[in-house]
Structure 1
Amino acid sequence: MKVFGIDVIKGSVRSRTRRPVYALARVEDGEILDVEEVTGFRLQRLLAAEKPDILAVDSIQEIAADRNELYAFLQALPPATKLVQVTGGERTESLGKVAARYNISFNKFDPYAEARTTARVAALGAGVEVIAFENTTDIVVSRHRSPGRGGWSQNRYIRKIHGGVMQKAREIEGQLRSAGLDYEKKETKAFGGYSRVAFRVKAPREMVPVHSSRGADVQVRVTGKELDRIRFEPLSSRPRYLIVGLDPGTTTGIAAVDLDGNLVLLTSSRQMTMSDIIEELYHAGKPLIIASDVHEMPYSVEKIRRAFNAIPYTPKQSLSVEAKYDLTASFTYMNDHERDALSAALDAYRSLQNKFRNIVKRVQPGVDLDEVRARVLRGQPLDAVLADLQGAPARPKEEEPAAPIPERPIEDERVMALDGMVKRLRSYVQELEEEIRERDREIDRLRQDLRRARSATERKIRRDAELATKDATIESLREQLRGERRRSRQLKKRLERMRKVEKIEISEGYTPLKVLDSLTRDGVRSLQEGVGISSGDILYVPRTHGWGRGVVKDLAETGVRALVINGEGPDPHLVRVAREVNLPLLPAETVRPNIQGRTGAAKTDAIEEAIREWEEEQKEFRREEEAKRVEYLFKEYRSEREKEVRRGG
């Protein structure tokens, strides 16, 4: 397995001027090959050329400033290369803690050492894989050049490009069928072939036998479908070993620490059953030791220990309250039950610290310390465990030689050694003080630069704000000016129409007509805005479809003298409504109007004659209506008399 480990030497992905420079360490089959300094661009070239199994980082923020950059970086990785964050996923820890689990030490201030360590722990299975894409891959085949405006051979040129897209799409479709992958295809037809073909393959990117490419006429882009949220999956499926402390009772307290003494879980509840406790511990890790704070382990704690086949631990005598406070002084807990559970776990860890230190001294770097300690605690010899994990035969046990009794040191030599130590410490203190003074001077200089930069930035912000306000005011005034210009043009047109009507009124023997497009409220509103409607006007209505009773009444109330109706004959209902509101309807064939645009004219004699005929008919209509009303009243009276006669009989 080939692993790349990187760490930032200088620069940052968030800087526009100082791009990051990385220390790159290559590890293959557990051996460090080399370490070199590379830029971000060269790192991408090396990843594409060598295609390592893992690219390991201690933080994804070193390669991407935000979510979009991270998606772009993962998209550019070779399909078979995993991006691994060795310090964890949602909950991270320091690289030093991760390396300590494998008995690896390094210089934290050396980027090359950090790159080597990152690669080594990733090769050993530490960290989580960063997953940003679903198990779906999109393949888009499209034109690599635009056809443009063209010349004499434009059609042949376009056929060549679209034919190339179609040919490439068929090749890719054949590869997908040969690989046995399910896919969906969407084609965009064009002159001579296709301008774009999109495949959605139901497989992860590393299983798709197609790669992004660019040709003279055709380009292929292979991308994974992005997840809504970045997901982290551990490289190793083995859970971490835990030392668990339990405090049973009405309220159950649960505490768990790892084999380095770090708190992993601390909770309590009044409603937890035994299955709930087991599930909680199962999600936290693999309990190696189940501990109690009393000398006799309670039966409920023993049942949970048997469920995990864990090692029991009880103190020689039950822990006192003072001892519990001492053990848990550096931790925060919510109640006494959590305190008791945590003190039991920490007491078990404290009893094993010396054994763990001896194990660390005898284990070589690069071995999983947790696995070694767990096997030793379960009774396996250390040599056999190391031989099993490192793949070497176990050494036969030899009698350890008796440790020589050291001679008592001479007092003078001890004094001389202490004097030398004091001198070295004083020299070191002077160096530190000088470094502190240099740092203070640097801080003062940076503060001055910061104040100058802030004042310049504030001035620029105020100037930009003023300019933005003035620009907004100018734009608002321009919009008002455009509106006023539009209104002026409309008023000019309306004035011209009114002058035209006025000229017709002045001419002898003719009466002006105003054209009402339709007998609807929209038509009335349009005429009112265009020419205007006033009392005594005669309106010409070319069509009466969609007329409304309210419109007719509104025109009568406005004082319109008459309506000239075009057509073979108006709607009888319209005629009735007009007679009810006393609004004359004049037939166009009688008046014979001359219409030009929104205005027209008709002979005054013809209009007066038509109005006289309407009024004669109107008198007849009113007589009929009066007769109907009298007849109705008579019928009502006779009906009431018949009812009285019946009641009297």
Structure 2
Amino acid sequence: MPILIVGIDIISEEPKRFAVVSWFNGKIIKHGEFTFYRLLRFIRAKKPDIVAMDNIHELGEYLRKFIRAIPQGTKIVQVTGRPGEQKPLWSLAKEHGIRVGDKFNPYEEAKVCALLAAKGVGYEVLPFEDEVIIKVSRGRSQGKGGWSQDRYRRRVHNLIQNKVREIEETLKRADIPFDLEIKEKDQGLERGEFRVYTSREELAGLIKPMKGGDVEIRIRPVERKTFEFVPLKSESAIRERKSIIVGLDPGITVGIAALDLNGEILALYSERNMAVSDIVRFISEVGHPIIVATDVNPAPGLVEKISRSFKAMLFVPRESLKVEEKNELLKNLGISVEDDHQRDALAAAYKAYLRLKPKLDHVEAKLREMGITKKGEEIKALVIQGYNLGEAILKVKEKEKSKEIKTAEVTETSVDVTPYIEKIKELENTINLLEKENQELRAVIEEQRKIIEGLENRLAAYDERIREKIIREKEMEIREKRIEYLEKELREARLIIEKLSKDLVLTKRMHLLELKGTAVPLKVIENLTWKEIEELERSAGIKKEDVLYVVNPSGAGKSIAEHLAEKRIKALISAKTLPNLVYETLKENKIPVLYEDEIEVKRVDDFAIVDRKELEGAIEEKLKRWEEEEKEREVQEFLRLVEEYRLERIKELKKKAEEEH
């Protein structure tokens, strides 16, 4: 697929100016002289696959700004190699058959950089860790206080909480490990910060940044302390490393412990603010982890990330280890640690080793019986990874055989080729001899290809077995999760049945009281609205002498009270205070209004009763009290009228007396 490569070189330092040349589909295009910010705009617009240069540090103070500003997916390549191992640009051009014009022309250097990158020459600069920080926080200033401002603040904190939960679910569905820190406020969240253990390229499309609203989402890749350089094309040899069990305690201070397969401590270390790459590098220098262990359940996201990085098995204890248990494990090892982080990491690794020890002892005993001791550690590692003992022994033997074949090939090649290389330096007529040697080597390569194909077929068969085993394990895991889900549903159903049983017993007792005539049934209305009144009239009807029980009367008005008065109900019992208009309307129509503190109501869902004698007594008392209040009101009214008449008569007498004088 055609790719776009932009080659750049420095023309001048003050002001900073660049020569820019692009390579696309075999064609070179000279774009001219660019300032730094114009170069950034050009790269953002074109979104090249590669930006190539001979030395990235020529950017000087602009380097970090340049790296942060280029589009996601654009690689920065230093064609001359990693720092400390760099080759001259013109030597590389000659080595790869690139014609060079004026060596002092910046455009010529930019062109050579682009052509070398197109041939896969150079090292990609990795400025970021495989970690991304996602911060969810308030998007706007809340301003000054006040009741409405407090309500707005609570709303924003709820929005932040919902967005944090949404991101958390997205990462879990994508099976991306992460750690989350939150700050709670107003029954919501003031902010949430995710540390996601993946590259920003893998995160692209899953979570998008947000600005300008009530909630702001900022996504920032974690920058490396020092840049890493990775070859574009070449493969580096993998050196054999010791198989180890690693215990990891993540946090601000990271604790790392490493044991060999005999339980011996190889490394014990802790450091503040270790990046993922630093952790991986430290572990790699000790050995190759086949188990990565933690002391807590569930495993933190960082531990899962490190486990996946090494394709190692993850060990998680059934329950988080207690401090007493950790101290007991360290006591058995007979070692002291510098801090709690080293203790936790070592306890996790040793706990994993103790879990594997019976299997390791069994393998070692079998190997002694078979007289195989040379590659015992490698065989143990394969058994831990899931191979049976026979498969592990066979795999190690095949690996040794393959090494012997490769060693023989290298030896033969070095013996045959060296004289010709020496003769090439002395005489030009040795070309024919080298061509013959080339044919012989091609024959050796063909023979090796056949051997490799045979080994690949055997590996494919082993891979198929492993794949079937993994499928079986996944099916078992799915069944176990299904069983857990059904057990949870069963527990919830039992709780519902238990509640319904209790309600049924209470309902039967209430019904029995009603049949005996000692209780009066109530017609229950949840909300005193026209809609629920109409539903009650359709289902059971509202008749004269009915007693209504209202749970929430807040939505009622005068018209509803008048309607109930027309129905001539016997009484109305309310769980809460009636609106004043409703109360006064019912009072005028001599319909008693009772509250739960005046009479005891026994209720199960839509069925409720009250004691008949208690109801009659409460109604009588309420009507009597209303009657007394009415009489008192009439007396007060009469006295008011008398007083008004007296005052008026006094005024008239005074007026008459004044007229007579």
- The answer to whether TM tops 0.5 is no
Give the number of the structure whose alpha-carbon radius of gyration is greater. Answer: 1
Pick the structure with more helix per residue. Answer: 2
TM-score range, shorter chain: 0.3 to 0.5
TM score, norm. by length of structure 1: 0.36
